[in-house]
A and B are shown apart, each in its own frame.
Chain A
Amino acid sequence: MKNSFLFGMMIALLGASLLISLALGRYEIDLSTLTQLLLWKLLNIGTAPKEVMLLSNIVFDIRLPRILAVILVGAALSVSGGAFQAMFVNPLVSPGILGVLAGASFGAALGIMVSNSWFGVQLFSFAFGFVAVLVALGVAKIYGRSGSQTILLVLGGVISSSLFSALLSVVKYVADPYNKLPTIVYWLMGSFSAVDMKTLSSVAMPLIFSTIMLSLMGKYLNVLSLGDDDAKALGVRVTWVRNSAILLATLLSTLTVVVAGMIGWVGLIIPHIARFLVGADNRVLLPMCALLGATFLIIVDTLCRTSMSVEIPIGIATSLIGIPIFVFALRNAKKGFA
C-alpha cells in the first residue's frame, strides 16, 4: 500500500522532471507550448504551436534523445549499484567494484587515442569494461575454492581497477596533449552532450533489458545477501545466480560509460536513498532505484546544461551534489542501512 503510493509519486516526479527538462535550455519553451507540441506531435490532438519546425527540432531531435539517455543511464547505474551492494553484502559497494568503470574508461581513452570515429571509442570502451571484469573474476578464480567468494571477488576487483587505472594514466601520459588529451579528460568527467539518436537507439534495448532482468532477480539477490552457505542451503544455485547478476550489472555499467563517460556516486547513493524509502527487499528496491536514479540524473543533467553559460561535466556535478546527500544518508548507517 505504502509502496504503491511511493511508486506512483516517483513516476509522477520522473514525468514532471522529464517535462521540465524538455522545456529548459538555451532556448526556453514555456510549459503550455510544450504540452501543445507534445499533444499535437505524439497524439494528434489540438493544433500545432507557432514555429513548430524549430520547436520540434529542439524538443525531439536535440533534447529528447539526450534526456532519454539520461533516464536510462541514471536507472542503469542505480540498479547495478543496488544489485552489487546486495551481491557483495556490503552497502558501500558501487558499480565500479569489479573494475568495470576503470576498464571502460581505459578503453575509451585508448579508443580516443587510436581511433577517429566515435563508434570506435564506444566499442573500445565496451570491450575493456568487460575485460576488466574478466580480470577480476579470473583473479578470484585462481584462489577459487578456498575461502569466501565475495572477498576474493572484491580483491580481484581492486586489482583489476588499479591495473586499468594505471593503464589509463599511461594512455593519458602518451596521448597528444593538444588534441587527444583534452578529449580524454573531458570524457572522463562525463557528459551527455554527445548523445544522439544513433547512440541512444543502439544502447537502449540492452540497457532496458538488463535493468528489467536485474530487477526481476530481486528475490535471489535477497537470498545472496544472507551469505553463500545460507543461500545454497536454501536451494539457490549461488554461483550461477551471482554470475548472471554480475554479467547484467557489468553490461549496464559499461554501457553507461559508453554513452556518457564516467559518472560517479549515482550507483552508490541512489540505492541508499531507495533503501531508506522502501526497505531492503531487492524486489522492490531495484525498481525504486531505477526510478530514483533516473529522476536524480535528469535533475543534475538539467542543472549542468542550464545553470552556467558553459556546460558543467555531469561527473563533477554528481559528485558535488552526491557527497552531501551521502553524508546525510550515513546517518542511517547506525541502523544497519535501513
Chain B
Amino acid sequence: MSFYSAKNLHFSYNSTPILKGVDLHIDEGSIVSLLGPNGTGKSTLMKLFLGLLSPKSGEVLLKGKALQSYSIKERALHVSYVPQSTQVAFAFCALDIVVMGRIAFESWFQKPSKTDRDLARAAMERLGILHLEKRTFQTLSGGEKQLVLIARSLAQGAKILVMDEPVSGLDYGNQLRLLETIMKLSKEGYTFLKSTHFPEHALMLGGYTYALKNGHILAHGLTCKTITQELINELYHTNIELKQTVCGYPVCIPSFAQHTN
C-alpha cells in the first residue's frame, strides 16, 4: 500500500490544461523534491496533494484511501501546508499563529486549551524559536516566518508537510538552516513534499526528485540518480555542467562561470 501518492492526475484551470497525467509516490519519512520551471504546475500539484483543489481526473491517495474521502478535519491531522509566504494583514503574535495549527482539534466555541498552547510552544522550542513567541509575525524576518509556519505544522500534528518553495526569499544562511531543519525533521519521521527552484537543494537533501515540465513528469527517482546535467539543461534551458567535488559531491557550474583560476 502506498503511503501518499497521485495516480494519473489531470487538472486544468478553466480550459487550460496544467497537469496531464501525473504519477507521484511518496514513501513515509522521505523527502520528495519537485523541480521544474516557473508555471509548470508545481504549485497546482501541491494543492491537489493538499486537497485544496480537486483533480479533473485521477486521484490522490493517502494511506490507501482517496484524499477526497477524508473530511477536511481528518485531512488536516495527516497533511499540513507550509505556504511560500503567508500575508498576515493583522498583527498576530508568533505564538497566536502557531496555536492556530491546533484549530482542527478544538470544537466550536472552545478556547485553545492549555494543552494546545503547550503543544504550540513545544513546537516552537523544537525549532529553536520559542524566544519569538511574543513577537508580531509581520515584524519577523523571512527565515523566522518560515520557521513559525513550520512550527504551526508541527503543532497541527500532521506528519506530512507540503512546502511551497520554502527557501524563497531567504538569505543564504537561512536557506541552509531551513534545509537542515527539514533534514532533521525527516529523520524524526516527518514526510516532505516540497517544490524548489534549486537543484542543489534537492541534491543536499537527497531523497527523491520529480522533475515536472509542461504538466508531465519528465524524470523521477532517487535524487542522486535523477538529477543529471542533461535533465537540468533540458528543464531550464541552461548550459550547466554537473561536476563532482573532490569528495564526490555534485555541484552545478554554469558555462559562463567556468573560468580556470
Report which A residues bind B (CB closer than 8 A): 86, 89-91, 146, 216, 219-220, 222-223, 225-227, 229-230, 232-237, 275, 279-281, 283, 335-338
* Interchain residue pairs with CB less than 8 A apart (8): A219-B100, A234-B100, A234-B101, A235-B156, A236-B103, A280-B92, A283-B111, A336-B138
B237 at the interface (CB under 8 A from A): no
Give A256 to B14 CA distance when docked, in angstroms. Answer: 41
**Partner among B14, B89, B96, B104 whose Cβ is within 8 Å of the Cβ of A235:** B104
Name the residue on A nearest B92 (C-beta): A280
The 3 closest A-B pairs by CB, nearest first: A235-B76, A235-B104, A233-B81
Q: Are B75 and A91 in contact (CB under 8 A)?
A: no
Cross-interface CB contact of B109 among A90, A216, A225, cutoff 8 Å: A216
Question: Are B103 and A223 in contact, with the CB atoms below 8 A?
Answer: yes
Q: Which residue of B lies closest to A275 (CB)?
A: B90
User: How far is B111's CA from A336's CA once the two chains are assembled, in angstroms?
Assistant: 26
CB-CB under 8 A from B171, the residues of chain A are none
Main secondary structure of the interface of A (DSSP, over half): loop
| CB-CB nearest in chain A for B164 | A229
The CA of A337 and the CA of B90, in the complex, are separated in Å by 6
- Bound CA span A86–B88, Å: 10
What chain A residues lie within 8 Å of B197 (beta carbons)? none
Q: Is the CB of A232 within 8 A of B72?
A: yes
Cβ contacts under 8 Å, A237 to chain B? 72
Q: In the complex the two chains form, what is the Cα distance from A237 to B79 in whole Å?
A: 15
Measured CB to CB, the closest approach of chain B to A81, in angstroms, equals: 14
What are the residues of chain A within 8 A of B96 when measuring CB–CB?
Answer: 222, 280-281
Which of chain A's residues have a CB closer than 8 A to the CB of B87? 89, 227
**A residues near B111, Cβ cutoff 8 Å:** 219, 283
Can you name 13 extra interface pairs (CB under 8 A) apart from A89-B89, A229-B81, A338-B136? A219-B100, A222-B92, A223-B100, A226-B86, A227-B83, A229-B83, A232-B51, A234-B103, A235-B73, A235-B77, A236-B72, A275-B90, A336-B91
Proximity bits, B86-116, A CB within 8 Å = 1, else 0: 1111111100110011011010010110000
Cα–Cα distance between A40 and B47 once the two chains are bound (Å): 66
CA distance A3 to B90 in the complex (A): 18
Q: Which residues from A are CB-within-8-Å of B83?
A: 227, 229-230
Quick check: A335 and B73 within 8 Å, CB to CB?
no
Chain B residues with CB below 8 A from A280, complex form: 90-92, 96
Name the residue of chain B whose CB is nearest to the CB of A279: B91
A91 touches B90 (CB 8 A): yes
B89 touches A230 (CB 8 A): no
B112 to chain A, nearest CB (A): 7
Contact of A233 among B79, B91, B136 (CB under 8 A): B79
Q: Which of A91, A233, A275, A338 contacts B80 (CB 8 A)?
A: A233
